[in-house]
Amino acid sequence: LAHTWQPEVCMFESRQLLLSAALAASVALLLDRWLRRRGRGTGKDALARELARLEARAEAVREALAGLDEPPQREVRIWMDGAFDMMHYGHANAFRKGRALGTHLIVGVNDDESILRCKGAPPLMNDEERLAMVQACKFVDEVVPKVPYIMSPEYLRWAIETYRIDYVVHGDDPCIVDGRDVYESARALGKYRTIPRTEGVSTTEIVGRGLAETVERR
C-alpha cells in the first residue's frame, strides 16, 4: 500500500527526534563537565549517582515538553438564573451541578420588580441581599444583577453575546408563567440543558415551616 504523507505527523516526529537529541547532548555535556571537574579517576558509585540525577532532570524536561503538546481546554460558559430567595442548599447544589457542565458559571439574579410581577409577591430578601448570597457560593464565577424573571428572545440573545454563553441551565422541574415555558427562547436556540432538581427543599417550604413554627409558639 502506498504511504500517505501526513505533514503534521512528520513535523511532530521530527520535533521529538530533535528534542531527544538535544537532551542526549545536554546530558553528555554535563557529564563531561562533571568528570573534568573531578578528574577521570572518580569512583563508579559517584558517577552512577550523578548519572541518575541527570536522568531525573531530563525526565522532568520531557514531562514539561509533553505538557506543551496537549491542546488547551476550551472554556464552556454556563448561564443559570433565578430569584434565589432565602438561598438554601438546593440552590448551592444546583450551582454545583451547573458548574460541572462547563468551566465557568454565570448566574443571573432576578430583580425584585420582575419577581413581584411574575409570582404575585415580592421576595423576602431584596436585590442586594440575594446578590450577596449568590456571590458567596464557591461554585459561582460571575453574577449578573437585575435579570428579568422571563427573558425575552432579545434579552437572551444579548446575554448570550455579552457573556459568551454556551448553555442555559435550569432544574428539570417545569418553570411555567401564564401558561408559557420561561425557557422557551433558550430551547428554541438549542442551548437549553437541565439538571436534576434537589428534592425535599424549596424557599416556599422553608417559609411555610417558619410560619408553622411561629403559629405553634403562639
At residue 117, the pLDDT reads 92
Q: Which comes out higher in pLDDT, residue 6 or 112? A: 112
Please report the pLDDT score of residue 102 as a whole number: 96
pLDDT at 176: 87
pLDDT at 197 over 80: yes
Q: Which residues contact 22 (CB under 8 A, 6 or more apart)?
A: none
Using CA atoms, how far residue 42 sits from 49, 56, 64, in Å, is 12, 21, 32
- Ordered DSSP codes for 167-200: EEEEESS--EETTEETTHHHHHTT-EEEE---TT
Burial class (CB in 10 A: 0-12, 13-18, 19+), 34: middle
> Could you report the per-residue pLDDT of 202-215, keeping only the tens digit for each?
877 877 777 777 77
Can you give the pLDDT at residue 79?
98
Q: Out of 104-108, 111-115, 154-158, 178-182, which region has the weakest mean confidence (pLDDT)? A: 178-182
pLDDT greater than 90 at residue 139: yes
Residue 2 clears pLDDT 80, i.e. is over it: no
Nearby residues of 178 by Cβ (< 8 Å), 6 or more positions away: none
Residue 149 near residue 177 (C-beta atoms within 8 A):
yes
- Residue 77 β-bridge partners: 104
- The Cα–Cα gap between 191 and 183 comes to 10
Q: At what angle do helices 44-69 and 7-38 cross, to 10 degrees?
A: 150
The answer to whether the CB of 84 falls within 8 A of the CB of 59 is no
The whole-model pTM stands at 0.65
In this predicted structure, the answer to whether residue 62 has a pLDDT above a threshold of 60 is yes
- Label residue 1 by pLDDT band (50, 70, 90): very low
Closest CA to 80 of 88, 69, 92, 72: 92
